[in-house]
Amino acid sequence: MKLEGRTALITGGGRGIGRATAVRLAREGANIAINFRGNAAAAQEAKRLVEGAGGKATLVQGDVSADGQAEEVVKAALSFGGGRLDILVNNAGITRDNLLLRMSAEEWDAVLDLNLRGTFLVTKAAMRPMMKQRGGRIVNVASIAGVVGNAGQANYAAAKAGIIGFTKTVAREMASRNITANAVAPGFVPTDLTDPLPQQVKDDLLGLAVRRDVALDKRRLPAGAFHQALGFLGRGGIASVVDGDVRAFSRQAHSGGASDTTTAAGDERRPAFELHAAPKLAGRPVSGGIPPSAIASPSA
């Protein structure tokens, strides 16, 4: 197996994209440290699924947006891996959607703290042991919102755009140490994070308002959409992509299709997100955002 004997830490690994990534890496032979902040039941289910996929797993509770806790999360993962941490997937994130005129400083800070600051703190804590072992793989979960923006998500889009810039910088700083850093930028993926959105908003984000004949299995977690991220890890953990590449996934990739495009650091080609409007995808760009009617008024 490609990742046999390797140890991976996945932040926010109890649900959604994090859980699906944990299961996929376990199938490739990796041992998984599943970080979660508060939902112990979901984390236990993720652990069960990882072990069912043939991998070893441990649960690591901690708030990665807090300095001391982020370091303890990495230390626990290192202990689980016998002193090694080969793979870090920064996935932990939240949303606090609101139109900018209604957005509170607390809503802004909450999203930036976990989504961006958490990525910074865990990456920083993981870099020294990766340098000591002379290698490591970092994959950051960004979002298409960080590339094109999204109305009602100024905080979320800013955090994800920050992750993209952060990823490119880490890649440049660590390339000589055999540590790679890359990002995936998913479009809309049905998870607990997106369940509260009104159905019309989900349809618009998926392009189903244009193509009602496109079927979507809402019961399916996005493991299929993110298996391409393993390309950043490479056979035997040797990656060929080291330049802070950002890989954007369309909804076609989520539903099992093979279409995805890549925009690399310094690449002047057409950005991947523009291809969401390509005829072969028969959908609209995710640019309409969340309409004001979908945003609840802030409480007094």
Q: How many Å is the Cα radius of gyration of the chain?
A: 18
197-226: buried (b, 16+ CB within 10 Å) or exposed (e) per residue? beeebbbbbbbbeeeeeeeeeeeebbbebb
**Residues 36, 80, 156, 226: which is the catalytic one?**
156
Alpha-carbon 243 to chain mean position: 18
Given the structure tokens 């099992």, which residue do they identify? 256
Which amino acid is residue 252, in one-letter code? Q
Angle made by CA atoms 132, 121, 64, in degrees to the nearest 5: 120
Q: What is the 3-state secondary structure (H, E, C) of the chain?
A: CCCCCCEEEECCCCCHHHHHHHHHHHHCCCEEEEEECCCHHHHHHHHHHHHHCCCCEEEEECCCCCHHHHHHHHHHHHHHCCCCCCEEEECCCCCCCECCCCCCHHHHHHHHHHHHHHHHHHHHHHHHHHHHCCCEEEEEECCCHHHHCCCCEHHHHHHHHHHHHHHHHHHHHHHHHCEEEEEEEECCCCCCCCCCCCHHHHHHHHCCCCCCCCCCCCCCCCHHHHHHHHHHCCHHHCCCCCCCCEEEECHHHHCCCCCEEEECCCCCCCCHHHHHHCHHHCCCCCCCCCCHHHCCCCCC
Please confirm, yes or no, whether 156 is among the known catalytic residues.
yes
Active site positions, annotated? 156
